[in-house]
Amino acid sequence: MNTYSPALRVVCLGDSNTRAQVSADYVAELGRRRPKDLFVNQGVNGDLAYNGLRRLDAVVAEDPDAVTVLLGSNDINASMTERNVQMFTRMKQLPVRPTIAWYRENLTAIARRLLEETHARIALLSPPTLGEDPDSPSVRRSIEYAEVVREVAKEVGVTYLPLNERQLAHLREAGHTPKVTYRDGRSIQARAAMQHFLLRRSFDAIARGRRLELTTDLIHQNSRGAGMIADLIDDFLG
C-alpha cells in the first residue's frame, strides 16, 4: 500500500513547454529539486489559454496545494500572421480569431476559477520570449502578452512570476545574434524535433548549433530556459 503523502501537491498547467516532449522538462527539474513534493504535469502541446481553460476540471480534481499556469506562447504565435491564425484555428478548434483581448479573457477565467474551486496558491507566469532577438516583432509581441499576465494577476489577486522579463534581460545581457530568426509556420520547430528524435541530439546541442541561448527553435526551451521557469516556481513555492 502506498502511504506517501507529499508535502505539496503542485499542478503545472501549460502547453508544450510544460508537457516537455519537445523541450527541456522544467516540471521534472522541480521534482528533482523538491523530492518531498509531488508535481503533476498538465501540459498539452499546442494549447492556447482557451484550451487550458477547457481542461480545468482535471486540475481541480487533483485537489492541489499550488497551481502554476504557463500559457501564452501559442496565443502569441497564433496572433503573428494570418497563416498562423488559420493553422491554430484548425489545429486547436478555436471558436474565434485569437487576439490579445481573448487571451486576457481566457487567462482571467482560468485564474478566477482556480481561486473559486481550489484551496491552492495560484501563480501566473508571463510567457517566454517568442524568438531571441530582443528587438524583433515577435519578442515585442511577447512583451505585450506578458503585460496582460501581470495585469490579470494583479486584478484577480494571484502571484505573478516574471518569466518573460527574466528571459528578456538575459538576452539583452548576452548580446548574441541567433542563427535563426522567427518565422511563421512550423518548419523551425519540425527540424528541431527531427534532430532530437531521429538524430538523438540533446535540446542543448540543438540550441548551440543555432546559437540560441534559451530555446531550441525560438519557442521550446533548452535547459537554461527551462531552468529559469523552475527557478521562478521554486521560489514561489518557498
Parallel/antiparallel/unpaired status of strands 121-125 and 38-43: unpaired
CB 85 within 8 A of CB 79: yes
**CATH classification at residue 88:** 3.40.50.1110
Query: Is 20 among the domain residues?
Result: yes
Taking the C-alpha atoms of 49, 83, 187 and 230 in order, what is their torsion angle to the nearest 10 degrees?
-20
Cell numbers representing residue 100 in the block: 490579445
Query: Is 76 among the domain residues?
Result: yes
pLDDT at residue 2 is higher than 60: no
pLDDT band, very low/low/confident/very high, at 94 (cuts 50, 70, 90):
very high
Q: What average pLDDT does the segment 205-223 reach?
A: 96
Query: Is 83 among the domain residues?
Result: yes
Query: Is 138 among the domain residues?
Result: yes
Per-residue model confidence (pLDDT) at position 193:
86
Average pLDDT of the chain is: 96
Query: Is 203 among the domain residues?
Result: no
> Which residue, among 97, 95, 99, 125, has the nearest Cα to 110 in the 3D structure?
125
Percentage of the chain modeled with pLDDT above 70: 98
CA 60 to chain centre: 19
Which residue range(s) make up the domain with 158? 9-173+222-237
Where are any strands of DSSP class E within 1-50?
A: 9-14, 38-43
Q: What is the pLDDT of residues 9-42, one digit of tens each?
A: 999 999 999 999 999 999 999 999 999 999 999 9
HSE, side-chain direction, 13 A CA sphere, residue 94: 26
Helix (H/G/I), strand (E/B), else coil: 114 = helix
Residue 159 burial (CB < 10 Å; 0-12/13-18/19+)? middle
Residue 79 burial (CB < 10 Å; 0-12/13-18/19+)? buried
Q: What average pLDDT does the segment 56-60 reach?
A: 98
Q: Taking the model in full, what pTM does it have?
A: 0.96
Query: Is 199 among the domain residues?
Result: no
CB 156 within 8 A of CB 53: no
* Number of domains composing the chain: 1
Query: Is 185 among the domain residues?
Result: no
Buried b (16+ CB within 10 A) or exposed e, 106-141: bbbbbbbebbeebebbbbbbbbbbbbbbbebebbeb
Backbone angles phi, psi at 123, to 5 degrees: -130, 130
Query: Is 201 among the domain residues?
Result: no
pLDDT band, very low/low/confident/very high, at 132 (cuts 50, 70, 90):
very high
Per-residue model confidence (pLDDT) at position 1:
42
Q: What is the pLDDT of residues 69-84, one digit of tens each?
A: 999 999 999 999 999 9
Residue 199 burial (CB < 10 Å; 0-12/13-18/19+)? exposed
90-99, 116-125, 196-205, 222-231: range with lowest mean pLDDT: 196-205
